[in-house]
Amino acid sequence: MLLTASTGCAREAAPVPDGGLEKASIKVGALAVPDSAPLYLAKARGYFADEGLTVAIEPTQSAAQAFPALEGGTLDVALVNYVSTFQAVTRGATFRVVADAYQAAPKTFVVMTLDDSKVKSMADLKGKTIGVASRRSIGSLTIAAALATHGLSESDVELLEFPLPDMVDKLRRGIIDAAWLTEPFITQATTTLGARLVQDMTASDSPTADFPVAGWGITAAYAAENPRTVAAFQRAITRAQRLAAGDRKAVTDILPTYTRIPPAVAGVIALGTYPVTLEAGRLQRVADLMHSYEGYLDEGATVDVNAILVPLPAGATSAERQ
């Protein structure tokens, strides 16, 4: 079953729900990556204010950092990647997803190597090293899927963990044979090293094409205690998702304000897409792929994505004047 928000009539701004908000001021954790652009757009354009919300944005480094902050109450909402979220849920965490945030598009996740490398395809990486931001993550999962198309598995390569900002240097120094990269590091590797593509993990014909990446997460307790606040956040962030989905310039203009991506680079990088619905069927793809490869979910664990979604409120995905 797919969870999709019902649509309503166009309106200029959503009203504050009757009875007011349980919390008018919230803290939202976000990474300095393109996935977070709608959050910054919603704040800059007054979408949260239209809902009666005051939002303080707290920088986070990863889902691993965001999860305890959500559970401890120092964050109300946070950007979380689906792979880590589903792993946490199968281990007893009671997280909920209130809005979809980011979906991969061609050239958003790639494996690259140096121009003079003998590696021409994923098949040539057998016995070689690939740099990833972390194992058992979306990066290594897309690598596993790509290797499988060449009859290989993760055990046929060595995955070495490095922070993404260090990856281009590790490739330059020959510490790794290839690197899994996202933007702006793809553009950095291309312009500074002349690095070339080995495989686009999210090409239209790849197993992970249009792959869901991240969403906005809360705890189940927070959802139960603050339904009107959650609904207000959902309406504002979905309004911003729609803006980001239809206006690339809005995204590239906001990126340099909260990331280290310079305006010139922001204008040319490959971007994913910004979904405006919350669909269990789409996100279940992530869980199902995790089941396909060893080590991503504990033995016997299952993920029912439908059970951890908070449906978007009525009218959240209606067309609005930005």
Domains and CATH numbers, the chain: 25-104+210-308 (3.40.190.10), 110-200 (3.40.190.10)
Peptide bond into 184 cis (omega under 30): yes
* Residue numbers in the chain where pLDDT is lower than 50: 1-17, 320-322
Q: Are 110 and 221 in contact (CB under 8 A)?
A: no
Please give the order of strands across the beta sheet that includes 54-59: 54-59, 25-30, 77-81, 212-219, 95-103
* CB atoms near residue 166 (< 10 Å): 14
pLDDT, position 12: 37
Q: What's the gap between Cα 146 and its chain centre?
A: 19
Contact in structure between 152 and 123 (CB atoms under 8 Å): yes
- The pLDDT value given to residue 11: 32
| Interatomic CA distance for residues 243 and 259, integer angstroms | 19
Q: What pLDDT is stored for residue 317 in this prediction? A: 65
Give the residues across from 78 on adjacent strands: 29, 217
| Nearest of 137, 178, 185, 174 to residue 157 by alpha carbon | 178
How far are the Cα atoms of 74, 112, 120, 198, 271 from residue 124, in angstroms, in the given order? 46, 12, 6, 9, 28
| Token pair 């007893």 in the structure block, residue | 92
Q: What DSSP string runs through 195-241?
A: -EEEEETT-TTSTTTT-EEEEEEEEHHHHHH-HHHHHHHHHHHHHHH
How far CA 285 is from CA of 86, 196, 246, 280, 289, in Å, comes to: 12, 29, 24, 9, 6
Q: Label the pairing between strands 110-113 and 196-200.
A: antiparallel
**Given this model, what pLDDT does residue 298 score?**
87
Residue 279: other Cβ atoms inside 10 A? 18
Which of these, 215, 218, 213, 214, lies nearest to 67 by C-alpha position?
A: 218
Whether 35 and 104 have beta carbons less than 8 Å apart is answered as: no
d(CA 50, CA 65): 30
Question: pLDDT tens digit string along 5-26?
Answer: 333 333 333 444 456 999 999 9
DSSP code at position 269:
S
